[in-house]
Amino acid sequence: MSVRAAVVRRMDGIDSVRVGQFLVPVGVLVVWQALVGVTSGVAFAGPAATFSALVGGIEAGWLATGLRRTMTELVVAYVLAVVAGLWIGVALGSSDFWSDVFEPILIGTYSIPKVTLFPMFLFVFQLGMDSKIAFGWFHGVFPVAILTMSAMTTVSDEHLKVARSLRLSRWQTFREVIVPSILPGLVIGLRLGFNLTFLGIVLGEMFAAREGLGYTLVEFIAGGQIDRIMAIIVVLVAVAAVVNVGFFALESRLGARERTADIRM
Protein backbone atom coordinates (compact mmCIF):
# COMPACT_ATOMS: atom_id res chain seq x y z
CA MET A 1 0.00 0.00 0.00
CA SER A 2 1.38 3.42 -0.96
CA VAL A 3 1.80 6.22 1.52
CA ARG A 4 -0.84 8.24 -0.32
CA ALA A 5 -3.36 5.40 -0.14
CA ALA A 6 -2.65 4.99 3.56
CA VAL A 7 -3.27 8.67 4.20
CA VAL A 8 -6.49 8.60 2.20
CA ARG A 9 -7.66 5.54 4.14
CA ARG A 10 -6.92 7.20 7.44
CA MET A 11 -8.98 10.18 6.35
CA ASP A 12 -12.01 8.02 5.50
CA GLY A 13 -14.97 9.29 7.49
CA ILE A 14 -13.16 12.49 8.44
CA ASP A 15 -13.95 15.82 6.83
CA SER A 16 -10.43 16.95 5.97
CA VAL A 17 -11.62 20.45 5.12
CA ARG A 18 -13.14 20.86 8.58
CA VAL A 19 -9.93 19.60 10.13
CA GLY A 20 -7.94 22.13 8.12
CA GLN A 21 -10.32 24.92 9.07
CA PHE A 22 -9.78 24.03 12.72
CA LEU A 23 -6.00 23.72 12.45
CA VAL A 24 -5.44 27.05 10.67
CA PRO A 25 -6.68 29.24 13.58
CA VAL A 26 -4.73 27.06 16.01
CA GLY A 27 -1.61 27.56 13.89
CA VAL A 28 -2.22 31.31 13.79
CA LEU A 29 -2.42 31.43 17.59
CA VAL A 30 0.79 29.39 17.92
CA VAL A 31 2.69 31.64 15.48
CA TRP A 32 1.22 34.72 17.18
CA GLN A 33 2.43 33.59 20.59
CA ALA A 34 5.84 32.69 19.13
CA LEU A 35 6.20 36.19 17.65
CA VAL A 36 5.45 37.66 21.06
CA GLY A 37 8.31 35.63 22.49
CA VAL A 38 10.70 36.61 19.69
CA THR A 39 9.94 40.35 20.01
CA SER A 40 9.75 40.23 23.83
CA GLY A 41 6.26 41.72 23.62
CA VAL A 42 7.52 45.00 22.16
CA ALA A 43 5.78 44.70 18.78
CA PHE A 44 3.06 42.20 19.64
CA ALA A 45 0.72 41.59 22.55
CA GLY A 46 -0.08 37.96 23.20
CA PRO A 47 -3.51 36.39 22.62
CA ALA A 48 -4.36 36.53 26.34
CA ALA A 49 -3.39 40.21 26.68
CA THR A 50 -5.24 41.06 23.47
CA PHE A 51 -8.39 39.28 24.64
CA SER A 52 -8.18 41.12 27.96
CA ALA A 53 -7.86 44.46 26.13
CA LEU A 54 -10.77 43.48 23.89
CA VAL A 55 -13.00 42.77 26.87
CA GLY A 56 -11.81 45.96 28.56
CA GLY A 57 -12.59 47.98 25.45
CA ILE A 58 -16.11 46.60 25.33
CA GLU A 59 -16.67 47.34 29.01
CA ALA A 60 -15.19 50.85 28.74
CA GLY A 61 -17.25 51.59 25.64
CA TRP A 62 -14.51 52.95 23.39
CA LEU A 63 -14.47 49.81 21.24
CA ALA A 64 -18.22 49.78 20.62
CA THR A 65 -18.25 53.52 19.92
CA GLY A 66 -15.42 53.28 17.39
CA LEU A 67 -16.87 50.18 15.75
CA ARG A 68 -20.29 51.80 15.42
CA ARG A 69 -18.79 54.83 13.66
CA THR A 70 -16.62 52.73 11.34
CA MET A 71 -19.46 50.36 10.44
CA THR A 72 -21.81 53.26 9.71
CA GLU A 73 -19.30 54.81 7.32
CA LEU A 74 -18.56 51.40 5.78
CA VAL A 75 -22.19 50.50 5.11
CA VAL A 76 -23.01 53.86 3.52
CA ALA A 77 -19.84 53.91 1.39
CA TYR A 78 -20.29 50.30 0.29
CA VAL A 79 -23.93 50.73 -0.70
CA LEU A 80 -23.00 53.78 -2.77
CA ALA A 81 -20.07 51.91 -4.34
CA VAL A 82 -22.30 48.97 -5.28
CA VAL A 83 -25.03 51.15 -6.77
CA ALA A 84 -22.62 53.32 -8.73
CA GLY A 85 -20.42 50.39 -9.77
CA LEU A 86 -23.37 48.37 -11.02
CA TRP A 87 -24.75 51.29 -12.99
CA ILE A 88 -21.37 52.11 -14.56
CA GLY A 89 -20.53 48.48 -15.28
CA VAL A 90 -23.87 47.65 -16.88
CA ALA A 91 -24.00 50.91 -18.86
CA LEU A 92 -20.48 50.52 -20.26
CA GLY A 93 -20.69 46.75 -20.66
CA SER A 94 -23.83 47.07 -22.79
CA SER A 95 -21.84 48.77 -25.54
CA ASP A 96 -18.62 47.44 -27.06
CA PHE A 97 -17.65 50.96 -28.08
CA TRP A 98 -18.02 52.55 -24.64
CA SER A 99 -16.49 49.51 -22.99
CA ASP A 100 -13.38 49.79 -25.17
CA VAL A 101 -13.19 53.55 -24.53
CA PHE A 102 -13.57 53.53 -20.77
CA GLU A 103 -12.04 50.21 -19.69
CA PRO A 104 -8.42 51.48 -19.89
CA ILE A 105 -9.44 54.64 -18.02
CA LEU A 106 -11.13 52.66 -15.23
CA ILE A 107 -8.26 50.22 -14.88
CA GLY A 108 -5.69 53.03 -14.97
CA THR A 109 -7.52 54.99 -12.28
CA TYR A 110 -7.99 51.81 -10.24
CA SER A 111 -4.22 51.27 -10.19
CA ILE A 112 -3.49 54.71 -8.71
CA PRO A 113 -2.30 54.59 -5.05
CA LYS A 114 -5.49 56.15 -3.75
CA VAL A 115 -4.00 57.20 -0.43
CA THR A 116 -2.17 59.95 -2.32
CA LEU A 117 -5.54 61.44 -3.26
CA PHE A 118 -6.91 61.62 0.27
CA PRO A 119 -5.94 65.30 0.76
CA MET A 120 -8.32 66.14 -2.10
CA PHE A 121 -11.18 64.33 -0.37
CA LEU A 122 -10.30 66.03 2.89
CA PHE A 123 -10.24 69.44 1.22
CA VAL A 124 -13.66 68.90 -0.40
CA PHE A 125 -15.48 67.05 2.41
CA GLN A 126 -13.63 68.28 5.51
CA LEU A 127 -13.06 66.18 8.65
CA GLY A 128 -16.54 64.72 9.11
CA MET A 129 -17.96 61.39 8.01
CA ASP A 130 -18.41 62.61 4.44
CA SER A 131 -14.70 62.52 3.61
CA LYS A 132 -14.31 58.95 4.90
CA ILE A 133 -17.45 57.78 3.09
CA ALA A 134 -16.32 59.38 -0.15
CA PHE A 135 -12.81 57.93 0.21
CA GLY A 136 -14.19 54.46 0.95
CA TRP A 137 -16.59 54.76 -1.99
CA PHE A 138 -13.69 55.73 -4.27
CA HIS A 139 -11.83 52.58 -3.25
CA GLY A 140 -14.78 50.24 -3.70
CA VAL A 141 -16.52 51.46 -6.83
CA PHE A 142 -13.79 50.43 -9.29
CA PRO A 143 -13.72 46.64 -8.76
CA VAL A 144 -17.52 46.53 -8.82
CA ALA A 145 -17.65 48.54 -12.05
CA ILE A 146 -14.78 46.73 -13.79
CA LEU A 147 -15.94 43.20 -12.95
CA THR A 148 -19.57 44.04 -13.74
CA MET A 149 -18.50 45.43 -17.11
CA SER A 150 -16.48 42.26 -17.81
CA ALA A 151 -19.36 40.04 -16.70
CA MET A 152 -21.69 41.77 -19.16
CA THR A 153 -20.00 39.78 -21.94
CA THR A 154 -21.76 36.68 -20.56
CA VAL A 155 -25.23 38.13 -21.20
CA SER A 156 -26.80 36.30 -24.13
CA ASP A 157 -27.93 38.41 -27.07
CA GLU A 158 -30.81 35.97 -27.58
CA HIS A 159 -32.02 36.59 -24.04
CA LEU A 160 -31.92 40.34 -24.59
CA LYS A 161 -33.87 39.95 -27.85
CA VAL A 162 -36.51 37.92 -26.01
CA ALA A 163 -36.69 40.62 -23.34
CA ARG A 164 -37.23 43.29 -26.02
CA SER A 165 -39.85 41.15 -27.78
CA LEU A 166 -41.69 40.82 -24.47
CA ARG A 167 -41.42 44.59 -24.06
CA LEU A 168 -39.80 44.31 -20.66
CA SER A 169 -38.83 47.57 -19.03
CA ARG A 170 -35.17 48.37 -18.39
CA TRP A 171 -35.58 47.47 -14.74
CA GLN A 172 -37.28 44.16 -15.61
CA THR A 173 -34.56 43.35 -18.14
CA PHE A 174 -31.89 44.15 -15.56
CA ARG A 175 -33.54 42.06 -12.86
CA GLU A 176 -34.70 39.07 -14.94
CA VAL A 177 -31.99 38.81 -17.61
CA ILE A 178 -28.84 40.72 -16.77
CA VAL A 179 -28.43 39.99 -13.05
CA PRO A 180 -28.78 36.17 -13.36
CA SER A 181 -26.24 36.19 -16.20
CA ILE A 182 -23.59 38.34 -14.51
CA LEU A 183 -24.12 37.09 -10.95
CA PRO A 184 -20.94 34.94 -10.61
CA GLY A 185 -18.65 37.76 -11.77
CA LEU A 186 -20.70 40.33 -9.89
CA VAL A 187 -20.25 38.50 -6.57
CA ILE A 188 -16.47 38.59 -7.00
CA GLY A 189 -16.69 42.31 -7.71
CA LEU A 190 -18.87 42.83 -4.64
CA ARG A 191 -16.37 40.98 -2.46
CA LEU A 192 -13.39 42.94 -3.74
CA GLY A 193 -15.41 46.14 -3.53
CA PHE A 194 -16.21 45.48 0.12
CA ASN A 195 -12.58 44.79 1.00
CA LEU A 196 -11.34 47.95 -0.67
CA THR A 197 -14.15 50.07 0.74
CA PHE A 198 -13.26 48.80 4.20
CA LEU A 199 -9.62 49.65 3.55
CA GLY A 200 -10.52 53.15 2.40
CA ILE A 201 -12.67 53.81 5.47
CA VAL A 202 -9.99 52.70 7.93
CA LEU A 203 -7.25 54.61 6.11
CA GLY A 204 -9.38 57.73 6.05
CA GLU A 205 -9.99 57.45 9.77
CA MET A 206 -6.29 56.96 10.43
CA PHE A 207 -5.30 60.05 8.47
CA ALA A 208 -7.96 62.55 9.46
CA ALA A 209 -10.84 61.76 11.80
CA ARG A 210 -12.12 62.39 15.29
CA GLU A 211 -13.90 59.03 15.70
CA GLY A 212 -13.79 55.48 14.43
CA LEU A 213 -11.54 52.46 14.89
CA GLY A 214 -8.89 53.87 12.54
CA TYR A 215 -8.68 57.06 14.59
CA THR A 216 -8.58 55.09 17.86
CA LEU A 217 -5.86 52.86 16.41
CA VAL A 218 -3.64 55.86 15.70
CA GLU A 219 -4.26 57.18 19.21
CA PHE A 220 -3.10 53.88 20.73
CA ILE A 221 -0.09 53.71 18.39
CA ALA A 222 0.98 57.13 19.62
CA GLY A 223 0.58 55.95 23.21
CA GLY A 224 2.34 52.64 22.63
CA GLN A 225 -0.63 50.62 23.93
CA ILE A 226 0.19 47.38 22.12
CA ASP A 227 -2.58 45.28 23.66
CA ARG A 228 -5.30 47.73 22.59
CA ILE A 229 -3.74 48.04 19.13
CA MET A 230 -3.93 44.28 18.75
CA ALA A 231 -7.52 44.27 20.04
CA ILE A 232 -8.58 46.70 17.30
CA ILE A 233 -6.72 44.70 14.67
CA VAL A 234 -8.51 41.54 15.79
CA VAL A 235 -11.89 43.28 15.49
CA LEU A 236 -11.09 44.60 11.99
CA VAL A 237 -9.86 41.18 10.85
CA ALA A 238 -12.95 39.52 12.33
CA VAL A 239 -15.31 41.86 10.45
CA ALA A 240 -13.47 41.32 7.16
CA ALA A 241 -13.30 37.55 7.71
CA VAL A 242 -17.01 37.16 8.46
CA VAL A 243 -18.07 39.12 5.38
CA ASN A 244 -15.56 37.37 3.10
CA VAL A 245 -16.61 33.93 4.33
CA GLY A 246 -20.17 34.84 3.38
CA PHE A 247 -19.08 35.92 -0.09
CA PHE A 248 -16.95 32.80 -0.59
CA ALA A 249 -19.89 30.62 0.43
CA LEU A 250 -22.08 32.42 -2.09
CA GLU A 251 -19.43 32.01 -4.81
CA SER A 252 -19.19 28.27 -4.07
CA ARG A 253 -22.95 27.92 -4.22
CA LEU A 254 -23.15 29.72 -7.54
CA GLY A 255 -20.30 27.59 -8.90
CA ALA A 256 -22.06 24.40 -7.81
CA ARG A 257 -25.28 25.60 -9.43
CA GLU A 258 -23.46 26.30 -12.72
CA ARG A 259 -21.85 22.84 -12.68
CA THR A 260 -25.23 21.24 -12.04
CA ALA A 261 -26.76 23.21 -14.91
CA ASP A 262 -23.92 22.14 -17.25
CA ILE A 263 -24.43 18.47 -16.32
CA ARG A 264 -28.15 18.69 -17.00
CA MET A 265 -27.45 20.20 -20.39
- Residue-wise pLDDT tens digits, 69-111: 999 999 999 999 999 999 999 899 888 888 888 888 888 888 8
Domain over 47-264 is classified CATH 1.10.3660.10: no
pLDDT band at 259 (very low <50, low <70, confident <90, very high): low
State residue 41's pLDDT score. 63
Residues 185-220: pLDDT tens digits? Answer: 889 999 999 999 999 999 999 988 788 999 999 999
d(CA 103, CA 81) in angstroms, rounded, equals 17
State residue 1's pLDDT score. 45
Mean predicted confidence (pLDDT) in 44-72: 90
Quickly count: other Cβ atoms within 10 Å of residue 50's Cβ: 22
Contact by Cβ (8 Å): 103, 169: no
pLDDT band at 4 (very low <50, low <70, confident <90, very high): low
State residue 165's pLDDT score. 83
Residue % of the chain over a pLDDT of 70: 88
Mean predicted confidence (pLDDT) in 100-124: 86
Q: Above 80 in pLDDT, residue 262?
A: no
Q: Above 70 in pLDDT, residue 56?
A: yes
Residue % of the chain over a pLDDT of 90: 37
pLDDT band at 6 (very low <50, low <70, confident <90, very high): very low
Q: Which residue has the higher pLDDT, 126 or 138?
A: 138
State residue 8's pLDDT score. 46
State residue 42's pLDDT score. 67
Q: Above 50 in pLDDT, residue 2?
A: no
Cβ contacts of 66-71, under 8 Å, gap ≥ 24: 66/211, 66/212, 66/213, 66/215, 66/216, 66/232, 67/213, 67/235, 69/129, 69/211, 69/212, 69/213, 70/201, 70/202, 70/205, 70/212, 70/213, 70/214, 71/239
